[in-house]
Amino acid sequence: MDIHADMDMDGFNEARAARRARLRALSAALRYLMLFTVGLVMLYPLIWLVGASFKTNAEIFSGAGFIPRHPTLDGYIEGWRTSTPYTFGRFFWNSFLIILPKVIGTAISCTMAAYAFARFDFPLKKVLFTSVIAILLLPNVVTRIPQYMLFRDLGWLDSFLPLWVPSAFAGDAFFVFMLVQFLRSLPADMEEAARVDGANSLQTLVYIVVPMLAPALISVCLFQFMWTMNDFLGPLIYLSSVEKYPVSLALKLSIDTTEAFEWNRILAMSVLTITPALVIFFAAQRYFIEGISAGGVKG
Amino acid sequence: MARVQLRNLEKVYGGTVKAVHGIDLDIADGEFMVFVGPSGCAKSTTLRMVAGLEEITGGEVLIGGQRVNDLAPGKRSIAMVFQNYALYPHMKVRGNLAFGLKIAGRKKPEIEAAIAEVARILEIEPLLDRLPKQLSGGQAQRVALGRALIKKPGVFLFDEPLSNLDAKLRASMRVRITELHRRLKAEGLSSTVIYVTHDQTEAMTMGDRICVMQAGRIMQVATPKELYEHPANLFVAGFIGSPEMNLLDGRIEGGDFVIGGQRTPLGPKVTDRLSDLPAEAVLGIRPQHLGLAQSGLAARLTNAEFMGHEVYLHADLEGRPIVAVVGAAQYEALGRAERIHLRPEPEHIHVFDKSGGGNVSLRPSRLAA
């Protein structure tokens, strides 16, 4: 009797487990469908942009679909030539010449500033850190004019210098703040171990802190890269000769100079413009997730 | 030679909070000195001042006769093992071991040889190419030990190095560290150790001498045996020994100690000096020195903990809790009795001054030592 009762119980439990598994599968399917739909809505403009860059000008406004009926590379070929004496490659090069020193300078200067704020005591530290926060809250536009006057007096107008030199001296309070916060979350034990091992402050920074800071530092570089790539106002204010335009200005150039806009050229060059940012973002994405400090400290 | 001397060492935080109150301590070359005390007693702060990781507010630290107050940690001929191991997470074990030597500008073959030797001593050869996150707690601790050992420092500083390990591993690491110390000493290498812990078992089993600290002051510095047998004050008496020493309030009358309405005779070492003793006092007797008897202090048994070959008897003596450790057979013989009689062994009785907390039953000569 007991055995039968047990078997009935088993059967009942199995049926219940099977039903639960089915429900779980269904709920997972619904969840994914939802995610997919929302994801598509968000990504559609980007997908359309890529599709439309292969369309003819006539086709672009004929429907909301993104698959070109008559695919053509005209947009890319004509767009690359531009309406100026330079190809689009020149503008990419200009962007590169601004971004490279800016990103490297930001990484080095912000790390040093953040290390000082997070780990050392020095006179006026509180006042200085408060001013960093204050700069963070200050709208950019407030400093535009004084900065312009300063760079004009330095004779830096129509050069790349105003675009990257401030950043190379830890001028971006946001990054300093971000790194300070990250450093504060790291235990100081490793740095103390390095000091006991005989390393001075700079050696500790280079050999111990920077590797641990890598995930945050990569985020800093990535943000700086993307913001600089997208920066429009800075180059617009400081650069006057077309030969020095970065891509953000060059894109606008093709809208200004032609009477009838060649939309497919603009779209094609837009695609090219966002490509480096996308590639770098996906390549570096792993580091956002990977916490390199895991495992070094227990407890 | 790596003798460590602390001279009136002080630490004040923020100008007002005094953490270390003028410590004087002499640690001989090759000595294994343990700093022990409850958390917040500034034992770690003191160690960190010796290491150079904490600024010294007052007094001085001498290592090998040289004043090191203003020397960077790397120049003090010390190595330190941290509680969380503090291994460099992005370097393999090999890199962790090599770092100090690389910074010191040693040649590559020399570094390789040193790594091989340390890895052999600590049996970490198979781990050399692993990252710290791929190590278990015990392995990480051995690597941390290796990182200290490879520098061949004058003084090893340990900051609660075993507190993150489980009990079994802790016991084996304890033995390993003690053996290592003995070995270094036998090989004639400098091997002064300052070891911070809050665990009295570690302190008692490892230290040549123990420095018991409380609230930034040294309570007593002595060998483990001396601390156990002749605690200098109430704090040390209560801190060292397991189960804790029974401390009973009462007063001295004639040659007896009176607790509530009961009397127990004091031993000759106390009665010799009755005139020096205060009337109000605290009697200290270790649970191991309380025996079951037909007569003596009458108490009510409240609980018995069976520990195998012995039993901890918890009893109530005139409203004061008291613990006695008796043999399992003696406990059996009690049957189900609730009233028991406990007799303190007179030669093991300590009498403490109620106001100052000092052990007044110690001979003055011993106190001076």
Q: Which residues of A touch B159 (CB under 8 A)?
A: none
Compute the count of residue pairs across chains A and B with CB atoms less than 8 Å apart. 95
Angstroms from A295 CA to nearest CA on chain B: 4
Residue A296: inside a domain, yes or no?
no
- Give per-residue pLDDT as tens, B298-356: 999 999 999 988 999 999 998 899 999 999 888 888 887 789 999 999 889 999 988 88
Do A62 and A99 sit in the same domain of this protein? no
pLDDT of the residue at A13 = 82
Angstroms from A196 CA to nearest CA on chain B: 5
Domain range annotation of chain B: 4-229, 235-368
> From CA A147, how far away is CA A130, in angstroms rounded?
21
Is a pLDDT exceeding 80 seen at residue B244? yes
- Give per-residue pLDDT as tens, A67-85: 888 888 888 988 888 878 8
Do A172 and A247 sit in the same domain of this protein? yes
Whether B262 and B318 have beta carbons less than 8 Å apart is answered as yes
Residue A281 binned pLDDT confidence (cut-offs 50, 70, 90)? confident
Do A136 and A262 sit in the same domain of this protein? yes
Which stretch, A108-112, B264-268, B348-352, has highest mean pLDDT? A108-112
CATH code of the domain containing A254? 1.10.3720.10
Contact A198 B75 (CB under 8 A): yes
Lowest pLDDT segment from B36-40, B172-176, B187-191, B239-243: B187-191
Residue A295 binned pLDDT confidence (cut-offs 50, 70, 90)? very low
- What count of other Cβ atoms lies within 10 Å of the Cβ of residue A3? 7
Lowest pLDDT segment from A279-293, B171-185, B260-274: A279-293
Residue A272: inside a domain, yes or no?
yes
Out of A75, A104, A127, a domain closes at A75
pLDDT of the residue at A259 = 56
pLDDT of the residue at B336 = 77
Contact A295 B131 (CB under 8 A): yes
Nearest CA among A44, A31, A79, A70 for reference residue A267: A79
Residue B203 binned pLDDT confidence (cut-offs 50, 70, 90)? very high
pLDDT of the residue at A258 = 56
> From CA B315, how far away is CA A72, in angstroms rounded?
96
Out of A22, A40, A75, a domain closes at A75
Is a pLDDT exceeding 60 seen at residue A293? no
Percent of chain B with pLDDT over 90: 70
Do A189 and A236 sit in the same domain of this protein? yes
Q: What is the mean predicted confidence (pLDDT) over B116-137?
A: 93
Contact B84 A212 (CB under 8 A): no
- In degrees, to the nearest 5, what angle opens at C-alpha A144 toward C-alphas A140 and A146? 130
pLDDT of the residue at B94 = 96
Residue A298: inside a domain, yes or no?
no
> With respect to CATH, is domain B235-368 assigned 2.40.50.140?
yes
ipTM over cut 0.90: no
Give the homologous superfamily in CATH for domain B4-229.
P-loop containing nucleotide triphosphate hydrolases (3.40.50.300)
Average pLDDT for chain A? 86
pLDDT of the residue at B21 = 94
Mark B120-155 as b/e (b = at least 16 C-beta within 10 Å): ebbebeebbebbbbebebbbbbbbbbbbbbbbebbb
Taking phi over 0 as left and psi of -120 to 50 as alpha, with beta for the rest, B206 belongs to: alpha
Is a pLDDT exceeding 70 seen at residue B369? no
Which whole-number Å values give the CA distances from B130 to A272, B89, B232, in the listed order? 42, 10, 49
Percent of chain A with pLDDT over 90: 47
Is a pLDDT exceeding 60 seen at residue A1? no
Q: Which residues of A touch B146 (CB under 8 A)?
A: none
Residue A201 binned pLDDT confidence (cut-offs 50, 70, 90)? very high
Is a pLDDT exceeding 60 seen at residue A103? yes
Residue A166: inside a domain, yes or no?
yes
Taken as a whole, chain A contains a residue count of 299
Taking phi over 0 as left and psi of -120 to 50 as alpha, with beta for the rest, B219 belongs to: alpha
Is a pLDDT exceeding 60 seen at residue B91? yes
pLDDT of the residue at A291 = 38
Do A95 and A29 sit in the same domain of this protein? no
Which whole-number Å values give the CA distances from B79 to A196, B39, B176, in the listed order? 6, 23, 17
Show which residues on chain A lie within 8 Å of chain B, measured between beta carbons: 187, 189-190, 192-200, 203, 207-208, 211-212, 214, 292-299
Which of A199, A207, A212 is facing B89, going by the closest CB pair? A212
Contact B90 A211 (CB under 8 A): yes
pLDDT of the residue at A297 = 40
Contact B99 A292 (CB under 8 A): no
Q: What is the mean predicted confidence (pLDDT) over B175-204?
A: 90
pLDDT of the residue at A296 = 38
Is a pLDDT exceeding 80 seen at residue A172? yes
- Give per-residue pLDDT as tens, A175-194: 999 899 989 988 899 999 99
Domain that holds residue A132: 84-289
Average pLDDT for chain B? 90
Out of A57, A75, A93, a domain closes at A75
Do A137 and A266 sit in the same domain of this protein? yes
Do A248 and A269 sit in the same domain of this protein? yes
Domain tally, chain A: 2
